[in-house]
């Protein structure tokens, strides 16, 4: 299986993984973006003959000289692939072993067991991108940008992310203890009881005491656009005067879902995202089945006129950034919160013969006005930070500011 990934995080803490959306923001067949390299009859690239002697020499010396009598050849192969991928210096180009790949795949089906946090390895440090809303990780207090120093008795440093995930994941009811570093604070310990994690794509309601509608998207899954449209119709039937679209802590998902979600708020035929390959050439978008499609909004949007605010934060990534950047460029919505994550790269997700996966960065994406997103993020129109005092008081200052803006226009 080959897909195109537009997701922020490298791996999700779970005890089961699914192959599909949350990690896949822009699912489309890799071949639509880059043609396959010419291969020999053996399946090896043409220049393999000049490179393979070094590999086999090292392989033979390890088997001849290493002092342990038993050597796991599969571990050697995986380690070789991991080393090759890590040498590229790109945190989003990843090799994922079969068990971990299966876990990520299960997540795409809507439920899994684990602590519920999206993570990646940054400069050798295991870093939290975002806890899943309502998950054990969020309830325990794990936050975006927290660094996990230790899992139970194992120190995490320069460890491949697959191994780190295997230490954290586990069945419902079991406990994992994390040592966490937050900013410049002293390290502290969190004990988290794993559970079944269910992730509804959409949450919607009218905000009590106001005429303002609220809708939240937790991830850009295949079902998200349909759920969004259904919930929007229900909200609009109540004649709201404004709409708050919450993309905070949404790490991304399918590119096709990002196009469809944007289409709910913008007139048809507008460019949503610009994708460029390593040579700076524009490449097409693709739907979930891999067919090439235009990177433009479609007809049928139900909320193209209502005054609108988008809430963003550091956990808003990838597909979330595509939508936020497009609506900002078209002045369709006012963005409130803090600058987003800055994951503007596109990965091809290859499923290998043994069930392992290889995610390879093949392109970067830009806003309709050609603004770079990768490592930059999308800046809010009105910056509102959540302070420690806000957290202690259980006060959502960003949501409050959005309500105020829609009520006063200021």
Active-site residues, by number, are 318, 329, 343
> Contact 196/111 with Cβ under 8 angstroms?
yes
Contact at 8 Å (CB) between 202 and 213?
no
- Strands 334-337, 345-351: parallel, antiparallel or unpaired by DSSP? unpaired
Can you read off the two tokens belonging to residue 85? 């991928």
Those residues whose C-beta lies under 8 Å from the C-beta of residue 24, and which sit 6 or more positions away, are: 3, 4, 5, 6, 7, 108, 253, 254, 349
Q: For residue 286, what are the β-bridge partners?
A: 292
In degrees rounded to 5, what are phi and psi of residue 110? 105, -15
Distance between CA atoms of residues 200 and 121, nearest Å? 26
* Helix 161-168 × helix 98-107 angle, to 10°: 60
Q: How many residues does the chain have?
A: 410
Q: Which long-range contacts (CB under 8 A, 24 or more apart) does 179-183 make?
A: 179/148, 179/149, 179/150, 179/151, 180/142, 180/146, 180/147, 180/148, 180/149, 181/146, 181/147, 181/149, 182/143, 182/145, 182/146, 182/147, 183/145
| Cα 115 to Cα 345: distance, rounded to the nearest angstrom | 26
Q: Tell me how far apart the terminal alpha carbons of the chain are, to the nearest angstrom.
A: 49
Work out whether strand 274-277 and strand 282-283 pair parallel, antiparallel, or are unpaired.
antiparallel
Phi–psi pair at 156, nearest 5 degrees: -105, 110
């Amino acid at each position: 299986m080959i897909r195109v990934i537009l997701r922020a995080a490298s791996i999700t803490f779970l005890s089961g993984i699914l192959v599909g959306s949350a990690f896949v923001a822009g699912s489309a067949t890799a071949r639509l973006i880059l043609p396959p390299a010419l291969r020999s009859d053996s399946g090896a690239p043409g220049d393999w003959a000049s490179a393979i002697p070094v590999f086999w020499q090292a392989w033979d010396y390890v088997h001849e000289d290493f002092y342990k009598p038993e050597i796991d050849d599969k571990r050697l192969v995986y380690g070789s692939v991991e080393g090759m991928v890590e040498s590229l210096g790109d945190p989003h180009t990843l090799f994922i072993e079969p068990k971990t790949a299966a876990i990520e795949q299960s997540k795409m089906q809507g439920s899994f067991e684990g602590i519920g946090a999206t993570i990646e390895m940054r400069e050798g440090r295991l870093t939290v991108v975002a806890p899943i809303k309502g998950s054990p990780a969020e309830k325990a207090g794990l936050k975006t940008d927290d660094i996990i120093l230790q899992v139970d008795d194992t120190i995490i440093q320069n460890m491949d992310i697959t191994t780190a995930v295997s230490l954290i994941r586990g069945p419902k009811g079991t406990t994992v203890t994390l040592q966490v570093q937050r900013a410049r604070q002293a390290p502290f310990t969190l004990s988290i009881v794993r559970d079944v994690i269910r992730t509804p794509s959409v949450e919607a309601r009218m905000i009590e005491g106001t005429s303002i509608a609220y809708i939240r998207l937790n991830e850009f899954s295949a079902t998200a656009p349909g759920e969004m449209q259904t919930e929007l119709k229900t909200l609009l039937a109540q004649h709201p005067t404004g709409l708050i679209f919450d993309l905070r802590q949404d790490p991304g998902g399918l590119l096709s879902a990002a196009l469809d979600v944007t289409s709910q708020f913008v007139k048809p035929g507008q460019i949503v995202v610009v994708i460029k390959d390593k040579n700076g050439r524009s490449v097409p978008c693709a739907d979930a089945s891999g067919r090439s499609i235009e990177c433009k909004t479609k007809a049928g949007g139900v909320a193209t006129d209502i005054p609108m605010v988008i809430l963003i934060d550091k956990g808003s990534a990838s597909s979330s950034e595509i939508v936020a950047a497009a609506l900002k460029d078209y002045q369709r919505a006012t963005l409130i919160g803090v600058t987003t994550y800055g994951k503007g790269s596109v990965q091809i997700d290859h499923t290998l013969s043994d069930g392992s996966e290889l995610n390879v960065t093949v392109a970067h994406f830009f806003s309709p006005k050609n603004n770079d997103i990768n490592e930059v993020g999308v800046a809010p129109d009105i910056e509102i930070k959540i302070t420690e005092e806000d957290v202690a008081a259980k006060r959502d200052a960003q949501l409050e500011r959005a309500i105020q803006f829609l009520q006063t226009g200021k």
